[in-house]
Amino acid sequence: MAALAVSPPPTGTHIVATLFYSTTLPPEARIHPDSTHHNPHDIIPTASLTSLTHGSVPTENIDNYPLEPPTPGPNPLDHLYGSYISRGCLTSFRQALAKVIPNFHDKSVLEKALDNPSWPRVMEVTFFIPTGSQITVESLRRNETISRYEREWSIETVFQVNDVWRRYKRLAVFDMDSTLIQQEVIDEIAREIGVVKEVSAITAAAMNGELDFEESLRRRCALLKGVPSTVWETLKTRITLNTGAADLVRSLKKLGFKTAVLSGGFTPLAGWLAGELGLDYFHANHLVVSADGATLTGEVTGEIVHAERKRLHVLDIAAKEGVSLQQVIAVGDGANDLPMMGVAGIGVAFHAKPRVQMEAPARLNTSTLTDVLYLFGLTKEEQEELLR
């Protein structure tokens, strides 16, 4: 009896893709008239010209006859197969990988549900990029075939090299405004004196990368001249943590992480937030207070925590703590967070501005910050254990 041929184990770069089912849309947002329920007992409304919409009056010109409502377009595939990561979704992902990666070894693919084994919404898929291939993690993140797959199945995919550094991070660095908290602090200050529209316009341009951050900060701060210095205490009552922020930090601390907030906002609130969450480091900007301590002058003093400064703070904190940059995760939402994401082992754009989502190493638009923990391979059950 001839011996069965055994395929040699694959060699190359071991990759892990974390798949998040991300849609919150109903299965069919538009109800087509033909899909509505009818029965013989329905009351037929009385015909009336007053009920006709503009342009629908009777006509002998066939070109003016109203067209039938369009039939519904094709449903996204997740609506066809189910609002979770279905077997069809996973098969389609393998097919996309096979199109993108030459000599793709399908038999080496492993799949693992990280939340619900029966109806998973988060999964890990591991595979190999063959030795000598021109495909990299970066090119997978920006590949059009992968992007099309994500759109078709309502999936967000985070690609990482599946090594020890991916699983054992030691330093987590966060932006503050619109990342750890829901507000943009400078906009909230501006609201106190009625200049929120002017400040918000500059903020949006800066976060989208359309304005130099330092220039935009000084322009916005100048508009805050005369705000009472008690504004910080007022704002503390308004600040709302993003969903999952406190649980994420608590989990990270239990895992032995050092944590930091690096903010383009201001020290009074960054320091307060660091204390509330138990963060180890905080860096932010300093607003000048008038000589009598009553109002803000609209000036900024000291170092400006702009994009490059955030990057340098990541390098400094990692060096101080003896942490390899491969063991750093950086999370933010603005263009000024991209440099610190770039030096970290993994940079995550969380509900970020469009340009940031395009350029960041990874993006997440899920409902809670605790989903970051899935990127380390932690299951839902393990995450719940950390919070007990």
Catalytic residues: 175, 177
Which residues, in sequence order, are CB contacts of 341 under 8 Å at separation 6+? Answer: 330, 332, 347, 348, 349, 360, 361
- How far apart CA 380 and CA 171 sit, in angstroms, is 21
Strand, helix or coil at 171? strand
The β-bridge partners of 364 are: 350
The angle that helices 144-153 and 87-100 make with each other, rounded to 10 degrees, is 170
Residues in the chain: 388
User: In what helix (H) or strand (E) does residue 343 lie, and over which residues does it extend?
Assistant: helix 338-343
Report the alpha-carbon angle 119-246-378, nearest 5.
40
User: In what helix (H) or strand (E) does residue 48 lie, and over which residues does it extend?
Assistant: none
Q: Tokens at residue 239, please? A: 């600040």
- How far apart CA 319 and CA 313 sit, in angstroms, is 10
Q: Which of 315, 362, 357, 363 is nearest to 340 (CA)?
A: 315
CA 174 to chain centre: 13
- How far apart CA 193 and CA 251 sit, in angstroms, is 39
Neighbours of 261 (CB within 10 A): 26
Q: Which of 238, 232, 224 is nearest to 193 (CA)?
A: 224
